[in-house]
Amino acid sequence: MAAIKILSLNCHGYNAGPESYLRQYCHDTDMFLLQETWLSDCTCSVLDNFHKDFAVFRTSAMEEDLQ
């Protein structure tokens, strides 16, 4: 039985630092769990284009804070 490899990361804001870190593990990880990206619904699209082999499911709690 194959193991599923999951990487969970508290981003403390999604920018070049966390993105670079995640890219190092793209070929060795099956699933990323990202917390505190601080992305709004408008800026979450940066995750959609992260890597062609990953599907993105996301929600933002920032919308309430931005209003």
pLDDT on residue 67? 59
Q: CA separation (Å) from 50 to 1, 14, 56, 65?
A: 28, 12, 9, 25
Q: CA separation (Å) from 25 to 6, 48, 52, 60, 65?
A: 10, 17, 14, 24, 31
pLDDT on residue 2? 86
List the chain pLDDT tens, one digit each, 67 residues. Answer: 789 999 999 999 999 999 999 999 999 999 999 999 988 888 888 898 889 889 999 887 766 665 5
pLDDT on residue 66? 58
